[in-house]
Amino acid sequence: MSIVFIISAPSGSGKSTLVERLMFEDRRREERRLQFSVSATTRPPRDGERDGEHYSFLSRDEFLRLRDNDELLEWAEVFGNFYGTTREVLRKAEQADRDLILDIDVQGAAQLREKLPHAVTIFILPPSRQVLESRLRNRSSDSDEVIERRLSEAAREVVDYEQYDYVLINDQLEDSFERLRGILLAERCRTNRIKESVQNILEGFRTPTTP
């Protein structure tokens, strides 16, 4: 059974960098363990975006059909376009025997917790508001107005940290990555997740041995 890891953070907290590092490390493994959830959207592709890699690009009718058939684990409408996570991404992860990584906002995570109550939730925090603002400004890609809006959104999002299983304060990138990887490793060792493997070992102890 795949483990679903839901990772949320205010914009600029370093979530995408940490998730990309996780996926990069996983691709170097001989046997991959992770699958990244590609969101579905009704907005048109931008230059350089590829269907199935950056997003699954759907028509509005296709998206609404999935929604009405309960085939979306979470969804939202943003500036007239729909975004969401399909159940198909989870089915594909389970078929491939991989754990699923979802890079999702606070609102989407709340919906996902209702649909997937056994999912593991991780909230990434910046070490301070000042550091977050500095990171946003250093990206040099947003106007002052956009930065102020992102900071206001962050102020609303951070108060939800108690809804998550784990909180990771992203101060030093390398340390944060090691802690994030440690969460994944620990969750894979939970008793209820390895019960079948343990039972197979116990059967060997129950079998009488011949001197």
Summarised one tens digit per residue, pLDDT across range 28-62 is 998 999 999 999 999 999 899 999 988 999 999 99
Tokens of residue 166, six digits: 């784990």
Q: How many CB atoms lie within 10 A of CB 65?
A: 12
pLDDT score of 210 more than 60: no
Please give the pLDDT value at position 200: 86
- C-alpha to C-alpha distance for 4 and 94, rounded to whole angstroms: 10
Q: Where are the domains of the chain?
A: 4-198
- C-alpha to C-alpha distance for 25 and 172, rounded to whole angstroms: 18
DSSP 3-state of 79: coil
Task: Give residue 159's identity as a one-letter amino acid code.
Answer: V
Query: By C-alpha distance, which of 157, 150, 175, 161 is closest to 21?
Result: 175
Residues 6+ apart with CB under 8 A from 28: none
Task: Give residue 180's identity as a one-letter amino acid code.
Answer: L
Which phi and psi (to 5°) does residue 144 adopt?
Answer: -60, -40
Q: For all residues of the chain together, what is the average pLDDT?
A: 92
Which phi and psi (to 5°) does residue 140 adopt?
Answer: 55, 30
| Residue 189: DSSP 8-state | T
Summarised one tens digit per residue, pLDDT across range 39-48 is 999 999 989 9
Which phi and psi (to 5°) does residue 117 adopt?
Answer: -65, -20
Residues 6+ apart with CB under 8 A from 167: 122, 123, 124, 125, 161
The CATH architecture one would assign to domain 4-198 is 3-Layer(aba) Sandwich (3.40)
Q: What is the pTM of this model?
A: 0.89
Query: What's the rounded mean pLDDT across residues 14-26?
Result: 95
Residue 210 parent element (H or E): none
Tokens of residue 179, six digits: 């802690």
Please give the pLDDT value at position 106: 92
